[in-house]
Amino acid sequence: MSIILDNEYEHFCPKLAEHFGSPLKLRKCVYGADFSGKSWYETLDLFLTQNLKFIRSRVEDCLYILRRGNDWIKLINYVDDALYYSKNDNFRKEFEAALKKKFNLSLMGKAKWYLGMKINQVSGFITIDQDQYIKNIVSRFEKSFKHDFKIKDSPLPSNFVPSKKDCPTTETQMKEVKLRFGYLHYRSVIGALLYVSCCTRPDIAFAVNKLAKYSNNPGVIHYRAMLHLIGYIKGTSQNFLKFYSDMKESLC
């Protein structure tokens, strides 16, 4: 790949003047390009599986596991976001040294955030939540809907019974739905809530699953139930999942 830049850029970047006006060959993938994610994935996958002898899970491709006796390191990777943990600190430090030798990186210490999830690690347990993510999407949806969502104490209305009979079938019904909820994109809301339900909020999984079935042609009843669900997560955004080091404590 070659790039020729005009000499006028020498005025703005004098230290790079010698490179302007000449064909340049890229030595590494440009971050942000369409192919950069794939290139990085292939590079990391090859390094982990061939050089370090990690085994990739056959069930979940993003999970890599390296075992040495009773010790192990587990790593998950989503495009260019990776998270790893180990049973043995010395084993982990060896792995980190191998990473630093191969890639230009900085170790940031214990993980605090991953894919929009906040990780809180203390002695005896770990919690993960999406409080900030939920607040962001609720704020965005309120701007689209041009109204604040009322706080609710349940994921769905107690009298809500999902049915295709509530989907609009006539032109008049479709116009009513568009007039009342046209500024709120049903599928966008379901997509955002689906991510939340799969990660840290299993309490809304049933509601999201039911509402998602009507994404193709939602009616007034479905929109009302969805507004109810948004009101519920708005009031419970701080809820989290808690993982104990001692499984007996989780049964209390």
Per-residue pLDDT of the chain (252 residues; tens, 9 = 90+): 344 445 566 666 777 777 777 776 766 666 666 777 788 888 899 999 999 999 999 998 899 999 998 999 999 988 778 899 898 899 999 999 999 999 888 777 888 998 889 999 888 899 999 999 999 999 998 888 777 889 999 999 988 888 888 898 899 988 888 888 878 889 999 999 999 999 999 999 999 999 999 998 999 999 999 999 999 999 999 999 999 887 777 765
Q: Which burial class, exposed, middle or buried, applies to 204 when counting CB atoms under 10 A from its CB (0-12, 13-18, 19+)? A: buried
In this prediction the pTM is 0.75
Could you give phi then psi for residue 25, rounded to 5 degrees?
A: -105, 125
Residue 198 to residue 9: CA distance in whole angstroms: 49
120-146 burial, b if ≥16 CB within 10 A, otherwise e?
Answer: eeeeeebebbbeebbeebbeebeeebe
DSSP bridge partners of 129: 118, 240
Could you give phi then psi for residue 57, rounded to 5 degrees?
A: -60, 140
Residues of the chain with CATH 3.30.310: 31-109
Q: CATH number of the domain at 31-109, out of 3.40.1350, 3.30.2220, 1.10.20, 3.30.310?
A: 3.30.310
Cβ atoms within 10 A of the Cβ of 31, count? Answer: 9
